[in-house]
Amino acid sequence: MRTIKITNDKKRDAEVCMEAAVKPPRIRRTLENGADYFNIKVLKHNLALAFETLSRNYDNLVDMGQALIEADPEIDMEVIGKKVGATQKLYVNKDNRIAYRVNMTEIIKDPLGAEKERRDRVPAASNVSGESLVQWTGRRFAKGEAVRKFVFQRKLQIKHINGLTYDFLHAMAKSLQESDSLMMVGAGKKGAEPLILSQGGERYRGFLEGRVDGEKYCLILHLTNMEMKATA
């Protein structure tokens, strides 16, 4: 489990844990004989059989289409259908050769999808642990308002590591449940900066949701990097 340093409404902080809580499916799917089924990946084609590669071998698409009808050059019976094991992402250039130096670019768009700005992407350091704090901003959003305003991509469960942090998080969850709201949290001294969970990771806005059932509690950190805005 990873750690996170978070403050409460009194600006007191504690180091706690966060993890993605994976809920097992309630429905078990099987094959006709009752055996468990599983997904596999199979190879569709390789670069030599890709459309971009094949198109270079013909003067025009008409000739290429006729070749596909007559000779099936896009099919290699020794390759297609093979099971694919562990894979690793590689970047290639326009000639499908491996690119060893890649410059990432951030494209900023307006609500209508038009490009506003283009800049080099600089990997940022994580700002949720160590000397950095995740700040309780005091900005509350009603749950109904939040789900209509933001698109949440991830959620992490915040968990205590000892008795003191249990009381700390239980009180936070209880306060949020009583107000039936989500609390915006952020990085930096005033909590105005986005959360970066890992080195070079995505920038997120964070919202805390709390649920309490007697001595039990659940504190969920909802993460979003997309806000829905009305267009003119």
201 falls within a domain: yes
Tell me the pTM. Answer: 0.69
- Mean pLDDT within 120-134: 84
* pLDDT attached to residue 187: 92
In a domain, 196, yes or no: yes
Mean pLDDT of 121-148: 87
Same domain, 200 and 135: yes
Q: How many CA atoms lie within 13 A of 109 on its CB side?
A: 11
pLDDT digits (tens, 9 = 90+) for 16-63: 999 987 778 788 888 888 888 888 899 888 877 888 788 888 888 898
Q: Which residues contact 146 (CB under 8 A, 6 or more apart)?
A: 182, 207, 222
Average of per-residue pLDDT values in the chain: 87
Residue 88 domain-assigned (yes or no): no
Structural domain range at position 73: 44-80
- Write down the pLDDT at residue 231: 57
Residues 75 and 142 in one domain: no
- Residue length of the chain: 232
**Is 35 a member of any domain?**
no
Specify if 136 maps to a domain.
yes
* Domain-embedded: residue 181: yes
Do 135 and 70 reside in the same domain of the chain? no
- CATH number of the domain enclosing 206: 2.40.290.10
- Residue 116 falls inside a structural domain: no
Q: Give the pLDDT band of residue 227 (cuts 50, 70, 90).
A: confident
Would you state the torsion angle of the CA atoms of residues 50, 51, 57, 62, taken in this order, to the nearest 10 degrees? 150
Helical (H) or strand (E) element with 206: strand 203-213
